Each structure stands twice: as structure tokens, then as C-alpha cells.
């Protein structure tokens, strides 16, 4: 810690600053040591593509043989998304330098695998989402009617006062789509022709997160009607699965790293499937299938039709096998561990739900 006293026109100004060793954060190019002025952290400096490449090679020990290939990928993907997102399996956590002759191509291959994984996952997430839209609107309308005044009435949702504010917020969103939204032609058409926008039209405009919230605020009777479509889930666990899936959907939609993503603060429910697969526990918590990608696989097992799940599982296995064949840096065990997948994940269809 260095301290300077500055004398100017009889005004003493004491500035304390500390020079810290920079540690690379999630993906931005690294600059000189951080300087903290009175608790203010100076941001990393701008580096152009050539400087980013130079930093990776000279300071971090990453092997780059094709500078044009590296620059093109940094332009298309970005340093933060590519380097920050996919460096961990190839970097020494103590020295923060690449090891075992890791190459730029290694990072691109892992990014491409994850991109394909996102596309595959998103395809089946939208199938779950589409079915839920239909089930929620059908269960509600069968009990309360098809007029927009029905879904804009707070009395038709849970009576638990704990969720009163959530009900009010939901109705505000529904009211906007029913009466003000002019971006979706199907809403404008219903409003103009019928002077009423039924719920099965409104739900199309809701995000997956809003749809999940809608389900959670239904009365128990309507939740039970929805749950009848999922033979092996109760109302509470269905809600937990849907809620968790909204986070994975956002990861896919925003092109964030998926293969090693972990949920925070929420998790997937325990299930008979985890027990039947003999998933190990630490204390009372399963080591796999709670906050990781395997939890999503289990959710798909419960929420997708059997034929869709078999197709998804086959595509997932093919994707994993292809990546492992095309890289010699990450072993099967390491990849599965990063994904939260147990060794016996492929046997998931051998067990009855």
C-alpha cells in the first residue's frame, strides 16, 4: 500500500492506492495490474483483436498457429464468450496459464460442442413449453370461461395472500397483452374482430418464465388438471421442473455456456428415477441431477413424450461421442463430470418412471 501527500495551495490531499495482481475474470482481455483508488476499481483496458491474440500467446501460453483463424473467431464470438466461457478445462487454476499444449482450436471445438448442445436442448425445451401453454390455457378456460375478464380477475387464482403481489403482477402482464400490445398481429386481430382475446391466444405472447409463474399461481384444481398430462409427477414437482427449465431456456436463448451450467438457489426435485439409477448422495443431496445438465435430462424424461425423449437421448449421445472423437484434451469422464452426468446416464430409459 503506497500513500502520497499532495501539497497544492495549502490543500493537503491524501490518496491511497493499492496495486494488485490481475486475475482473469470471465472472458475479458487481461490488462495491466488493477489499480484501486479509494475503493474504485479501474476497468480493463481495450485491446484490439491482434493485442488479444498476443496476450493469449505471450502471457497465457495458448498455442495459436493460425492467427487469421483466431482473429475471425474472436470477431464472430467475442473474447468474453469464447475465452472466458471455455478456458477452464485447459487452464491451470493456480497459474492461470494454459497447460498441456492447449490450442486455440481446443477452445473453439468446445464452444462448437456447446453451441450444438444448446441448439439440441432448445429444440426440446420448446416442445415442453408449447405443450404447457396449451395445458395451462385449457385447464383455466375449462373452469372459468373464455372471456378475458376471466383471466383478469384475481379471484380466479390462488387465494394464498402470500402470492397476492405476484397475482397482481401477472394480471398486469395479461392486461397489457389483452388491451395494449400491438406488436403481435394475432392479438390485434382478436381485439379488433371479437373484442376479446382468449387465454389460449394470450399464452402465446408470454415468456416461458411468465408461463411458469402462471402455473404456480393457478388454484390447486387447475394445477391438477395440468398435472394429469404428466402421469408420474405431482403438482408441486411439476412446478419445480418447469421453474428450473426456464433458467436453462434462458441460457440457450442468450447463447451462454450450457454444458457446465449450474442452477443457483433453486434445484430440480428429487425423483424415483435418481433413486433407481443409484445416483450417489452427499448427505441427503444427490450428487447429480439437482442443479446440472443431467437434471434437465431427467426433466425431459418426465415431461417429453417417450418417442421425443428417445430421439433427444439418441441425438445427445451422438453429440457427446462426436466431440470426444474430435478432441484429445478432454476425456469422457471429465466432460460428463462438467455436465453433471453420471457414468450410467445412457441407461436412463431402462428404468420405469
pLDDT over threshold 60, residue 21: no
**Better-scored residue on pLDDT, 228 or 29:** 228
Arithmetic mean of pLDDT, 138-163: 97
In terms of Cβ atoms closer than 10 Å to its own Cβ (0-12, 13-18, 19+), residue 116 is middle
Tell me what pLDDT residue 41 has: 63
pLDDT over threshold 70, residue 40: no
Residue 102, Ramachandran bin (φ over 0: left; ψ between -120 and 50: alpha; else beta): beta
Tell me what pLDDT residue 44 has: 80
Q: What is the DSSP letter of 281?
A: E
Arithmetic mean of pLDDT, 98-102: 94
Which range is least confidently modeled, 14-18, 314-318, 341-345?
Answer: 14-18
219-125-224 Cα angle (round to 5): 20
pLDDT tens-digit readout, 53-97: 999 999 999 999 999 999 999 999 999 999 999 999 999 999 999
- Mean pLDDT score across all residues of the chain: 91
Burial 90-102 (b: 16+ CB within 10 A, else e): bbeeeebebeeeb
pLDDT band per the 50, 70, 90 thresholds, residue 39: low
Give the CA-trace dihedral at 105, 107, 109, 110, to 10 degrees: 170
Tell me what pLDDT residue 267 has: 97
Judge contact between 5 and 14, C-beta under 8 A: yes
Which range is least confidently modeled, 8-17, 102-111, 186-195, 282-291?
Answer: 8-17
pLDDT band per the 50, 70, 90 thresholds, residue 326: very high
pLDDT band per the 50, 70, 90 thresholds, residue 332: very high
| pTM beyond 0.85, yes or no | yes
Judge contact between 340 and 261, C-beta under 8 A: no
Domain locations along the chain: 2-102, 114-350
H helices present in the chain, as ranges? 49-54, 67-76, 79, 85-86, 104-144, 148-151, 164-179, 185-194, 199-202, 208-217, 220-227, 235-253, 272-276, 293-303, 306-326, 332-339
Judge contact between 167 and 217, C-beta under 8 A: yes
- SS3 at position 26: coil
Which of 292, 296, 301 is CA-nearest to residue 231? 301
Percent of the chain with pLDDT strictly greater than 70: 88
Judge contact between 33 and 20, C-beta under 8 A: yes
* C-alpha cell, 155: 379471484
Residues 6+ apart with CB under 8 A from 69: 104, 105
pLDDT band per the 50, 70, 90 thresholds, residue 242: very high
pLDDT over threshold 50, residue 152: yes
Arithmetic mean of pLDDT, 125-133: 98
Residues 6+ apart with CB under 8 A from 337: none
pLDDT band per the 50, 70, 90 thresholds, residue 28: very low
Task: Classify the C-alpha dihedral 265-133-205-259 as positive or negative.
Answer: positive
Arithmetic mean of pLDDT, 186-208: 97
Amino acid at each position: 500500500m503506497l500513500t502520497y501527500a499532495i501539497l497544492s495551495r495549502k490543500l493537503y490531499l491524501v490518496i491511497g492506492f493499492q496495486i494488485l495482481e490481475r486475475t482473469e475474470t470471465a472472458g475479458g482481455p487481461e490488462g495491466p495490474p488493477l489499480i484501486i483508488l479509494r475503493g474504485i476499481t479501474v476497468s480493463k483496458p481495450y485491446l484490439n483483436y491482434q493485442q488479444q491474440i498476443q496476450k493469449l500467446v505471450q502471457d497465457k501460453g495458448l498455442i495459436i498457429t493460425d492467427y487469421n483463424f483466431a482473429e475471425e473467431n474472436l470477431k464472430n464470438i467475442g473474447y468474453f464468450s469464447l475465452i472466458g466461457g471455455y478456458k477452464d478445462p485447459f487452464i491451470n487454476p493456480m497459474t492461470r496459464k494454459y497447460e498441456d499444449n492447449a490450442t486455440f482450436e481446443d477452445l473453439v471445438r468446445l464452444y462448437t460442442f456447446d453451441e450444438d448442445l444448446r441448439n439440441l436442448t432448445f429444440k426440446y425445451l420448446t416442445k415442453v413449453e408449447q405443450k404447457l401453454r396449451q395445458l395451462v390455457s385449457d385447464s383455466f378456460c375449462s373452469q372459468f370461461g373464455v372471456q378475458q375478464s376471466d383471466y383478469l380477475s384475481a379471484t380466479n387464482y390462488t387465494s394464498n395472500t402470500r402470492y397476492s403481489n405476484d397475482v397482481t403482477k401477472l394480471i398486469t402482464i395479461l392486461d397489457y397483452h389483452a388491451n395494449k400490445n400491438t406488436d403481435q398481429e394475432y392479438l390485434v386481430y382478436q381485439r379488433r374482430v371479437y373484442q376479446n382475446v382468449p387465454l389460449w391466444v394470450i399464452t402465446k405472447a408470454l415468456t416461458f418464465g411468465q408461463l411458469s409463474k402462471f402455473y404456480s399461481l393457478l388454484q390447486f384444481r387447475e394445477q391438477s388438471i395440468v398435472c394429469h398430462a404428466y402421469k408420474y409427477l405431482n403438482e408441486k414437482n411439476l412446478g419445480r421442473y418447469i421453474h428450473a427449465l426456464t433458467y436453462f431456456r434462458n441460457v440457450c436463448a442468450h447463447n451462454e455456456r450450457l454444458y457446465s451450467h449450474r442452477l443457483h438457489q433453486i434445484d430440480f426435485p428429487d425423483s424415483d428415477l435418481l433413486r433407481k439409477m443409484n445416483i450417489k448422495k452427499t448427505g441427503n443431496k444427490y450428487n447429480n441431477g439437482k442443479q446440472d445438465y443431467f437434471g434437465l435430462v431427467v426433466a425431459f424424461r418426465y415431461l417429453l413424450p417417450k418417442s421425443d425423449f428417445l430421439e433427444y437421448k439418441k441425438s445427445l449421445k451422438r453429440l457427446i461421442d462426436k466431440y470426444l472423437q474430435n478432441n484429445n484434451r478432454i476425456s469422457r469422464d471429465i466432460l460428463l463430470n462438467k455436465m453433471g452426468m453420471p457414468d450410467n446416464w445412457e441407461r436412463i430409459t431402462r428404468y420405469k418412471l
